Amino acid sequence: MLPILALLIYGIWPLPNTDFTISVDSEKMAYKAAYMQQEALLPSTQKLPNIVVILADDLSRQDVSRYGGEHVQTPHIDAIGANGVTFTEAYAASPICAPSRAGLITGRYPQRFGFEINLHERYPRNRLEYFVFSYLLDTGNWKVAALQNWEVPSVAEMQKQGLPPSEFTLAEYLKPLGYQTAAIGKWHLGFNESAIPNNRGFDYHYGFYEAFSLYAPEDASNIVNQHLTDFSDPHIWKKGRMGTCAIVRNGEPVQEETYLTNRFAAEAKEWITAHQEDPFFIYIPFSAPHTPFQVTKDYYDQFDQVRSPEKRIYYAMIKALDDAVGSIMEHLKALNLEENTLVFFMSDNGGAEYTLAADNSPLKGGKFSNFEGGINVPFMMQWKGVLPEGVECNDPVSSLDIFATVAALTGVGVPTDRTYDGVDLLPYFLTDSLMGKRPHETLYWRSKYHKAIREGDWKLIRDDMSQKTVLYNLKEDKYEQVDQSAAFPEVVAQLSLNIKEWESTLMDPAWPRVMDYEILEGRDTFYFPL
């Protein structure tokens, strides 16, 4: 049965001829004209599949019960994997929010277009500010980075940070094929006009542009708030819903009283209902369980046995997220859309352990590191009636594969003047020749000086700031407890060379960092640029 389904999928939706090269000077208008011509190549008698991409924010693998997490039961998220494929070796493109999202939405390593540092609206203005933040304030593990030559980016330069106009989102590729498109949730890919969702292929956007926003007004009667001792937390509460943290609908600020996780789910369901007759692509990047820690009292009360206030509210936020995901999936079923909808669920990076709530163990490290706890994330894929159910894939895959899978399935043509880094995942579960084979032999990461490579079962992390290099065999040591660099210098040399060769294809970071986050792992200290 599966080979027949594979033949149907890859026969009905063939990849159109993409052998066209357009000058970079022509930029988007020429590309879009070429895509519009491709619509005629698609069969008019076959309805294109709907695409749903659900992204959690800072959700650890151990926060999901399908991966063995015991603190919160997540039956609705688990069901996506139970109804399709659960990836146990899935990797985000970066261990921090914005670059990770840039990789997912473009299908390219974000370092290829300079997007490897989080976005910033504030830098130390002078040496005095740097001195105060470095020596007079307790910033914990957050260390202010010295700017090169003390050149502070101008306001105009800071506003340009984000997804550059030269890159294309998955929505921009799907639009010419007749897809209706929506982004509902946290954007975090840029605040300027050229970067916001409505100008990047999305017909509809509801959410916020920043890395965070209040889930509800802080003084709402049914909301529980938990402030943290972490250095970054007061800044998040202070911004509230001002500026780039405002809730907007198609660029216009709106007053929102509903708890945001619930509102995102409701917006998604309303939009799907309105576009159920058309092929649609909906990207739903939830902000949960990222800070600020807020949740409705009914969820908070479900975890009264948890003594840690940080963990209690964190678990309650995950439970609310699971219910929100479940309501979207149930809505697809109620509209009889399940069998024509490919659904992806993923987290943008590992849990943020600095909150004292997230715990990525037994994986090592977390957000802000290329240890497994920072980049090995929950990832599931469902397509009822097409993908086999209950499959577990134990080979490395990447968030970059979402783009490649959708592009191959729908017949999207991509320009030949750039490299795409993902792999079409569907054949690995639908065709005999690829079943059981690895989609990726090698995966790379770079955040300025903090770099990593996984090649086969070997994993090398190199921190040029702390001048430390560690090597692990993930087949024997998934939890990265034993550094093998001294025992296998030839592996270190080869993987270091491979990183260097990969870096030769990248551009430098497009904007400077503000902070260096100090990572303490046993007796070792590593750093990560932010």
What is the per-residue pLDDT for 153? Answer: 86
Mean pLDDT calculated for residue range 211-225: 96
Q: Is pLDDT above 70 for 32?
A: no
Helix (H, G, I), strand (E, B) or coil at 212: coil
What counts of helices (H) and strands (E) characterise the chain?
15, 21
Give the least confident one: 43-57, 193-207, 236-250. 43-57
Query: 511 pLDDT band (50/70/90 cuts)?
Result: very high
pLDDT of residue 23: 29
pLDDT of residue 31: 39
pLDDT above 50 for 39: no
Mean predicted confidence (pLDDT) in 371-393: 97
Task: Please give the average per-residue pLDDT across 288-306, as a whole number.
Answer: 98
pLDDT of residue 40: 35
- pLDDT of 43 above 80: no
Report d(CA 378, CA 90) in Å as an integer: 7
Domain ranges in the chain are 2-15+42-121+162-419+428-440
Average the pLDDT over 251-274 and give the result. 97
3-state secondary structure at position 377:
coil
pLDDT at 408 over 80: yes
Tell how strand 252-253 and strand 293-296 pair up: unpaired
Is the predicted pLDDT of residue 30 greater than 70, yes or no? no
Is the pLDDT at 34 greater than 50? The verdict is no
Bridging pattern class, strands 442-447 and 142-144? unpaired
Span 360-384, average pLDDT: 97
Q: Which two tokens stand for residue 452?
A: 């990593």
Per residue, the 3-state secondary structure of 264-321, as one string, reads: HHHHHHHHHHHCCCCCEEEEEECCCCCCCEEEEHHHHHHHCCCCCHHHHHHHHHHHHH
d(CA 515, CA 521): 19
Output the six-digit token pair for 522: 């046993």
> Mean pLDDT across the stretch 241-266?
97
For 76-92, how does the pLDDT look when each residue is reduced to its tens digit (9 = 90+)? Answer: 999 999 999 999 999 99
Does 3.30.2130.30 match the CATH number of domain 2-15+42-121+162-419+428-440? Answer: no
β-strand pairing of 90-91 with 468-473 = unpaired
| pLDDT value for 121 | 87
How far is it, in rounded angstroms, from Cα 530 to Cα 320? 29
Pairwise pLDDT comparison (511 vs 150), residue with the higher score: 511
Cis peptide before 43 (omega within 30 of 0): no
| Percent of residues, the chain, with pLDDT higher than 90 | 82
Mean pLDDT score, 8-31 = 33
Task: Inform me whether the pLDDT recorded for 17 exceeds 70.
Answer: no
| Average confidence (pLDDT) over 149-154 | 78
Report the half-sphere exposure of 408 (CA within 13 A, side-chain side). 16
- What pLDDT was estimated at residue 470? 98
pLDDT at 85: 97
Separation between Cα atoms, residue 208 and residue 287, nearest integer Å: 10
> pLDDT higher for 466 or 5?
466
State what percent of residues in the chain have pLDDT above 70: 91
Tokens of 308: 């840690």
Q: Stretch 398-419: mean pLDDT, rounded?
A: 94
Can you give the pLDDT at residue 46? 56
> Residue 218: its pLDDT value, please?
95
User: Of 19-33, 118-132, 186-200, 318-332, where does mean pLDDT reach its minimum?
Assistant: 19-33
pLDDT of residue 146: 79
| Contact (CB, 8 A) for 515 and 143 | yes
d(CA 98, CA 96): 6
Kindly report the average pLDDT of the chain as a whole number. Answer: 90
Q: Would you state the pLDDT for residue 281?
A: 98
pTM above 0.95, yes or no: no
